[in-house]
Amino acid sequence: MPAKSHWTKLKGITKTCRTKTQFNRMCGICCAVSTCSSRSAMESRAYENLRKRGPCYGREIRKTAITKKDLSYHCLFSAHVLHMRGPMTPQPTEDDSGNVFLWNGEVFGGLPVGPEENDTLVLAQHLSDSQRPKEFLSVLSRVQGPWAFIYYQAAQHCLWFGRDFFGRRSLLWQCSAKERSVVLSSVAAAVSCAGDQHWQEVPAVGVYRMNLSELADLGTLTFEVYPWIHTGDVPPPASHKFKWEGLTSWASITMNDCGLFLRAPVCPLNRVVSEILPHTTHTISSQPSAEELDTLLACEERKKTVNQLIDVLSEAVRRRVQCLPFETPAPPLSNEKVEIAILFSGGIDSVILAALADRHVPVGKTIDLLNVAFKLQEPKRQKETSKKPKANKLKPVVSYAGSTESVVSDAFGVPDRITGRASLKELQAISPDRRWNFVEINVTCEELQKMRLKCISHLVYPLETVLDDSIGCAVWFAARGVGIATEGTEQKAYTSAAKVVLTGIGADEQLAGYSRHRARFNSAGLGGLVEELAMELGRISSRNLGRDDRIIGDHGKEARFPFLDEDVVSFLNTLPVWEKADLSLPRGLGEKLLLRLAARELGLGPSATLPKRAMQFGSRIAKLENGHERASDKCHRLHTA
């Protein structure tokens, strides 16, 4: 179909929008459906959170529809757009048939988007042309990239919604039997709700279809689910009931009657476990070095696999850093507009992303490296004792040059600050022409408590554990990008203006980076490790991605996850587990072994053997307020009412 039709069929979109390639944008999207016209879509706090996700443009569409039995329902659609490039494309979009589309996503592949087309409009057109559910699902199955969407089919009186296979974009729902309503939103607000009005994350197991005629007629709510299915898997029977905690008895979720499903965008995990593993003839020390990675790379077959990973991950990074309006390079040290930022701890995941981004961002452009640290508490004076004092984990610090550095004296000299500075030097060595903007983001306890109460708790919600609080707060301050940058010998206040933030989420889950993976391997061998990895990837939407999307999006910035690119995941899923990690090797080498070898192949040094350190510990937020809590405990600090 010619590109022109995408611009003429949708109401409110003028023909003047046809210009250069218009890629994606992040949005805050919301839909409220009720049998009561007085229903308010969102409380003011939640509406403000939505607006901050898309500060460039916002609008609403209201609809009232009459069903065959002369009963009515009312819909409110609201969207707030973060504009990335090209002329503004308003959302929600509405076509001549009254269908309404809200899209918070990006098409990085799978579905063709021409050089003069916009992905939102292309998808809206495809869905408008899809009269049957099978056609509708075929369109969504082809999209590669993160998304959450809401689509109203006027003639059928139904509402479609859902998240991508990994749940990389947030979507929440709230169902109320009392008000006979359902609200869908990218973000909500943590408030005390009486009765059944609690928000939950929409499970990323498929897409959902809601019959609005049924809501108006019977006053009940049934969500039909169309699940993601790998090729060869058998979909659940039509009688299958899905159960999720927090969904009221008034609403139910069932498998669709037609047995239809979406094709999973990645191949299934290789679960093969060999009794005989490849034999390696080398000796590894208890404190691995980069040179020992060179020994492992001497195997040609292994080196081939490493280069395949570099190629597929490099392409994933390219897709995420080149969908931006890069222009003529500005003079050095000017007040240029930086487009790309990386959550940067100095660990293997973030350093790899930086090294690969360097390949694809024009040399004259700066890349922001966002490094967050929480102020260290003053040590308590202890009475002299004959007991040996506990070792301070921050000293001594072995430098990357092999000598012993002096102890970092500043109050923000946390582990991630130390590794961040050291890894910065490595990046400067392999790419001296690049301006790496190392942004030191320093957070005091007072500012943490203030911003948690003001906004972070609302973004973490509906999650509520200590771990969610720690990571949510650390990511929020890091993504905000307000800190100190160094120019020459001077430090100055700096705020990152980058709209795109790369994050390393997905590397640990696929390459056995967590300590629990080593524990599972020690107790249950390779078979147990494979099952643990399958579980990790299966739950990543509910544990990490929805929360991080809400957190980063609050700054009008977009989170991008190269390690969860469909091609990257498919490649890693094809490999047997022992090619991705070897947990018989020491810490700092065996976990994420394949990625460490890739780092070495890219010319990186000691950063390739840094042991995994969780963000909440590396930034020291976990020790700032209460060091005796467990990660899974309910966090009382997140409850604001």
pLDDT tens by residue, 121-156? 899 999 999 889 999 999 999 999 999 999 999 999
| CA distance readout (Å), 90 to 11, 13, 27, 45 | 10, 7, 11, 23
Give 41-95 pLDDT, tens digit per residue. Answer: 456 667 788 888 877 778 899 998 888 777 888 999 999 887 665 556 788 999 9
What domains can be seen in the chain, in order of their start residue?
Answer: 5-209 (3.60.20), 290-324+336-378+396-638 (3.40.50.620)
pLDDT category, 4, cuts 50, 70, 90?
very low
- Give the rounded percent of residues in the chain with a pLDDT score beyond 90: 58
pLDDT at position 247 over 70:
no
Inter-residue long-range contacts of 64-67, CB under 8 Å, 24+ positions, other chains counted: 64/37, 65/154, 65/157, 65/212, 67/157, 67/212, 67/213, 67/216, 67/217
Q: Helix axis angle, 566-574 relative to 300-321, nearest 10°?
A: 160
626 in Cβ contact with 446 (< 8 Å): no
3-state secondary structure of 149: strand
pLDDT of res. 380: 52
Average pLDDT rounded to a whole number, residues 485-504: 92
pLDDT of res. 43: 60
pLDDT at position 445 over 80:
yes
* C-alpha span between 124 and 151 (Å, rounded): 9
103 in Cβ contact with 147 (< 8 Å): yes
pLDDT category, 395, cuts 50, 70, 90?
very low
Better-predicted residue by pLDDT, 292 or 504: 504
* C-alpha span between 416 and 421 (Å, rounded): 8
pLDDT category, 613, cuts 50, 70, 90?
confident
Residues pairing with 100 in the sheet: 94, 152
* C-alpha span between 283 and 295 (Å, rounded): 10
pLDDT category, 26, cuts 50, 70, 90?
low
Sequence length of the chain is 641
pLDDT of res. 402: 36
pLDDT of res. 282: 56
Give 532-542 pLDDT, tens digit per residue. Answer: 999 999 999 99
- Mean pLDDT for the chain overall: 84
- Give the rounded percent of residues in the chain with a pLDDT score beyond 70: 81
Average pLDDT rounded to a whole number, residues 171-200: 80
pLDDT of res. 58: 80
pLDDT at position 270 over 90:
yes
- Phi, psi angles (nearest 5°) of residue 333: 65, 20
Neighbours of 535 (CB within 10 A): 12
Better-predicted residue by pLDDT, 404 or 424: 424
Better-predicted residue by pLDDT, 20 or 90: 90
Instruction: Decide if 175 is catalytic.
Output: no
Q: Tokens standing for 31?
A: 């839909």
- Phi, psi angles (nearest 5°) of residue 247: -85, 130
**Alpha-carbon torsion (56, 62, 67, 71), positive or negative:** positive
Neighbours of 309 (CB within 10 A): 22
